[in-house]
Chain A
């Protein structure tokens, strides 16, 4: 059987990480192709429900990335986002959602190499964890009979 290729969704901000990822490409740095990048105006715009939706649509891992603190194009979007992530991670952890599958990072427009490294290490980690079967099992369970008490 072919090796498991994780599906990874990256939610990135337009000004830093997206530009950083662009730089990775123009610098011809090779990195894993498992990632689908979704560009946002700012990390402050990344709704936590989007992360859950990514799992709902079959993602095995998620990267969330934006500008370093103090570098936000809108001054403080990333600070707000950071506070939200701190709480959200704890909540997910309590709910039993595997936090090893959501990676957070700051990648600036100049850090093309860091982006490659973030993606590669995420792919390695998720590959080791395997497909997110636990989440997939709860999808499409319509009309099941009332479960055993």
Chain B
């Protein structure tokens, strides 16, 4: 489908939001609390935060919840009854106000969940989610989408992309997919004719800092490098980077029961945890933090491109912002590019 360009006036934005809520969509939008901006279900437009470069967490939780039930079981007199989770009742939802880099993350997650067997639980959620992205007019020192093939006005993955066109507060709306078209159909009168807005003029300027293909080539021979140990010395091995990341998909499968019944759930896990790869025998293939840090970088910038044909990083910078010890991914990637093997 060709991208259709329209124009939305400042005061039409709220009307569009209200129209979506009125259509019974579950709308996730950025809300700021305790100084952190996260996607929450919002019914009231005034609660939405406008002043953020990036949300603390990515929106992946909508399609890949941190705890997702996969089946229920119940012990009965005949043994055990097992009921797979019914994926159909997932609500039609809209993610409002995500950044283009987050929308790219949708595709990267999708690659992981579909490269071999298809994860229909994930796919059902994606199918029912519409992404209304907002281009970036500002970037900070953590952002590096342009270094991994994105840009502040990237349409990839979004259903509609809104670009703030100057001080006036009006928006250029790019309707990218059929889902985006359906949003427009919810309030067609709000989508006016595009007066010919020059989108690029309003986007943040963010020169690329490294070349992801160069990094990828370099990583092929970088496994044994001492750089990993040097970089990860201050890493304390928590899972913050993985949990705020829009593309990290590592998970655990756990059973939880109360009395005779319970559920099996799929829940987030992180390659940064020391017990992630621990064998029951006590042997651990990735014993120290440098090996785990290497896995994180290699997986995103070498293994994923090779096996899944996508990079595992959108350049959103959340991992660096959320890191308690300032493990700055951009800085580390640049240093990998600079170090001689």
Contacts and interface: CB of A to CB of B under 8 A. Distances in A.
Do A and B interact directly, with beta carbons closer than 8 Å?
Answer: yes
Interface of A: 56-58, 139-140, 142-143, 145-149
A140 B40 contact: no
A146 B62 contact: yes
20 contacts: A58-B259, A139-B258, A140-B256, A140-B263, A142-B256, A142-B263, A143-B67, A143-B69, A143-B85, A145-B93, A146-B28, A146-B39, A146-B40, A148-B40, A148-B43, A149-B33, A149-B38, A149-B40, A149-B41, A149-B47
Interface residues of B, number: 25
Contacts of B43: 148
Contacts of A149: 31, 33, 38, 40-42, 47
A44 to B, nearest CB: 28
Main secondary structure of the interface of A (DSSP, over half): loop
Contacts of A142: 67-69, 256, 263, 265
Contacts, number: 48
A136 to B, nearest CB: 9
Main secondary structure of the interface of B (DSSP, over half): strand
B65 interface: yes
Contacts of A148: 40-43
A2 to B, nearest CB: 20
Contacts of B42: 148-149
A57 to B, nearest CB: 6
A115 B41 CA distance: 51
A40 B33 CA distance: 45
B259 A143 contact: no
B90 to A, nearest CB: 9
B269 interface: no
A148 B41 CA distance: 5
B61 interface: yes
Contacts of B21: none
A147 B38 CA distance: 11
